[in-house]
A and B are shown apart, each in its own frame.
Chain A
Amino acid sequence: MNKLRKQYLPFVRAGVQNLITYRMNFLGFIIGGLIYCFVMYYLWKSVFMASGGDTFMNFTMSDMVLYLFLSNVAGEITFSSVSNDIAEEIKDGSIAMRLIKPVNMDLSYLATELGGTAMRTVTFAFPVIIGLEIYRYVTLGIVMFNPINLLLFLLSIVLAYLVAFRVNLCFGFMAFYVKNLWGMGILKNSIINFLSGSLIPLAFMPDGLRTVLEYMPFASMSYTPVMIYMGKYDTSEIIFRLGIQAVWAIIIYGISKLIWVGAIRKLSVQGG
C-alpha cells in the first residue's frame, strides 16, 4: 500500500497542478456548462407551461431543475480527459515514455485524473448540490435533503466514474485508427449526452427505448446516480441499479484491456 502511494502520488499531484495551471480553462468549461443548464431550464419551464399541468411525465418543475443541474454535476465529476491525453501521447509518441515506466499505465492515468476530479468535486459539485437544496427549500418550503440518498449518490458516482473512465480510455485508443480526434470528441460527447440521459431524462423516452438505454453502460455514467439522489428509486431498485453499474464497470474494464492488446501491436513511435 505504501509502495502504491509512493508510486502514484506524484501523478495525483501532477493532476491537481495541471488543473490549477489551467484554472481559467476549467472555469470556462464550468460556466459553459451552467449556461447550458439555464437554457434547458427555460426550455423546460416553457414546456411545463405549454403542457398546462404541474407534472410532466411524473417530473415536477423542481424535479426537473434538480435533474438538470445534478446531471451537470455528475458530468463534471465523471469528466475524464483521458481520451484526449492518451490520444495526444499516441500521436506525439510520448506514450513510449509512459510505457517504459515501472507503473501500470491505466493506473497512472487514473491517478492523474483523480487529482482533477477531487478539485472539481470540492469546488463545483458540492456548492451546486448545496445550492440545489436551498432552491428546493425555498420553492417547496420543506427540507428535502436526505443524507442517505447523498451517500448512495456518492457510491453510485464512484461506479459511474469507473465506467466513464474506461469508456473514455477506449475512445482514446481510437487514436490508433483515426486522426480527427477533435471530431471524435464531439461525437463521443453527443452520443454519451444522449444515451446517458443527461440531455433528456431517460424516463421521458418511449418505453422500449428507455428499457434498452437503462441497461446500457451509458445510463450507469450519469442517470443512475442522479435518479438515486432524487429519490426516484426504492431500496430494491437502488440495489439492482448499483449492481448493474458494478457489472458494467467490470465488463468495460475487460473491453478496454482487449482493445489495448489489439491496439498496442499497431503502435509505432517515430523519433523521440
Chain B
Amino acid sequence: MRRAFKIYRILVAQNLKRLMEYKADFLTGAVSFLIDQAIGIAFIFIIFSQIPQLAGFTFEQIVFIYGFSQIPKGLDHLLTDNLWCVGYFIVRKGDFDKYLTRPINPLFHVIAETFQVDAVGELVVGICLMIYSAPSAGLYITPLSVILFVLVIPFSALIYTAIKIATAAVAFWIKSSGFIIQMVYGMNEFAKYPTTIYSNFIKLIVTFIIPFAFTGYYPCLYFLTGENPVFNIGCTVFISIIFLGISLAIWHKGLSAYESAGS
C-alpha cells in the first residue's frame, strides 16, 4: 500500500511537470470544460425563464443537482482518464504489453499514469454551482447529512470508474472498445436532471443497469429533502461497491483473455 502511494506520487509529479511545461494546454482544456458547463447552465436558465418549476424542483434545486453531478464526474475524469485510451487504442496497438511487464498491478498502473487536470473545469463549475444554489435551494442540513455528503461523493465517483473499467476491459476481447465506453458513458447525461422526468423504462436503466442516477439525482434528493437516506445514500454506496466488484471481475477475466496485438 505504501509502495503504491509512492509510485502514484511519482507518476502524478511527472504529470504535473508536463503540465508546467505546457501551461497553455492546461488552460485550453480547463477553459473548454468550463465553457461547456456554462452553456449547460445557460440552457437551464433559459428554460426557467418560462416556467416556475420543473418536475417539482425550483431553479436553484435543479442547479444544485446539476452542480453536484459534476463533482463525481470530475473526480473520475481527474483520476482515471487513461481508461479511455485503453479502450480506444492502447490494446489495439499492442501497447498494453508494457503494463504487464512491470511489477505493479496493471489496472493501478493504467490509472496512475494519467492525472487529467482538464477535469478542474468540471470540479470548479460543480463547486461554484453548489455554492451559488445552496442558500436558496432549501438544503436539508444536519450533522449527519454533512457527513454523508462528504462520504457519498467518492462512492458516486466510483460508479463512473466502475463503468469505465468494465467497458474498457471489453477491449481485451475485441481489441477496441472505445465506442462502447462512449455509448455507456454518454448515459451520464441522464444524471443531470431529476430522474422523475423520464419514463419508467429509462428510470430502471439509469437506476440499476447503468446506475448514473446515483451520481446525481438520488443523493441530491436526500440533501434537498432529507427523505429516505437508506435508499438515496445507502444504495449509492451499495451499488457503487457492487459495480466496482463486477467491473474488477470483468477486468481480470479480460486480462487473462488478452493476447497482444500489433507486430
Residues of A in contact with B (beta carbons under 8 Å apart): 24-29, 31-32, 35-36, 38-39, 42-43, 45-47, 50-51, 56-57, 178-180, 182-184, 186-187, 189-191, 193-194, 199-200, 204-205
Residues in chain A near residue B50, CB distance under 8 A: 47, 51, 56-57, 204
Sorted nearest first, the 4 A-B pairs with minimum C-beta distance are A28-B179, A183-B29, A187-B32, A180-B25
A188 closest partner in B (C-beta)? B32
Number of A-B contacts (CB under 8 A): 109
Q: Is B144 an interface residue (CB 8 A)?
A: no
Residues of B in contact with A (beta carbons under 8 Å apart): 22, 24-26, 28-33, 35-36, 39, 42-43, 46-47, 50-55, 118, 176, 178-180, 182-183, 186-187, 189-190, 192-193, 197-199, 202
Give the distance in Å from the alpha carbon of A193 to the alpha carbon of B29 in the complex: 18
Least CB distance from A111 to B in Å reads: 26
A36 closest partner in B (C-beta)? B189
Residues in chain B near residue A29, CB distance under 8 A: 179, 182
Residues in chain A near residue B186, CB distance under 8 A: 31-32, 35-36
A187 and B178 within 8 A (CB): no
Give the distance in Å from the alpha carbon of A179 to the alpha carbon of B18 in the complex: 13
Give the distance in Å from the alpha carbon of A199 to the alpha carbon of B35 in the complex: 14
A28 and B25 within 8 A (CB): no
A50 and B51 within 8 A (CB): yes
| A199-B39 in contact given A42-B202, A50-B55, A205-B46 (Cβ < 8 Å) | yes
B193 and A43 within 8 A (CB): yes
Give the distance in Å from the alpha carbon of A184 to the alpha carbon of B26 in the complex: 11
* SS class, residues of chain B in contact with chain A: helix
A186 and B32 within 8 A (CB): yes
Residue among B26, B52, B183, B199 with most chain A CB within 10 A: B183
A46 and B42 within 8 A (CB): no
B180 and A28 within 8 A (CB): yes
A50 and B52 within 8 A (CB): yes
Residue among B25, B187, B197 with most chain A CB within 10 A: B197
Least CB distance from A193 to B in Å reads: 7
B88 closest partner in A (C-beta)? A25
| B46, B53, B176: the one within 8 Å of A204 (CB) | B46
A33 closest partner in B (C-beta)? B186
Residues in chain A near residue B53, CB distance under 8 A: 50
Give the distance in Å from the alpha carbon of A56 to the alpha carbon of B29 in the complex: 36
Give the distance in Å from the alpha carbon of A94 to the alpha carbon of B48 in the complex: 49
Least CB distance from A40 to B in Å reads: 9
Give the distance in Å from the alpha carbon of A29 to the alpha carbon of B30 in the complex: 23
| A42, A57, A187: the one within 8 Å of B35 (CB) | A187
**18 A–B contact pairs at CB < 8 A?**
A25-B182, A26-B179, A28-B178, A28-B182, A32-B182, A35-B186, A43-B47, A43-B193, A47-B50, A47-B54, A179-B24, A179-B25, A183-B25, A183-B31, A186-B33, A187-B31, A191-B35, A204-B50
B29 closest partner in A (C-beta)? A183
A42 and B198 within 8 A (CB): yes
Least CB distance from A251 to B in Å reads: 24
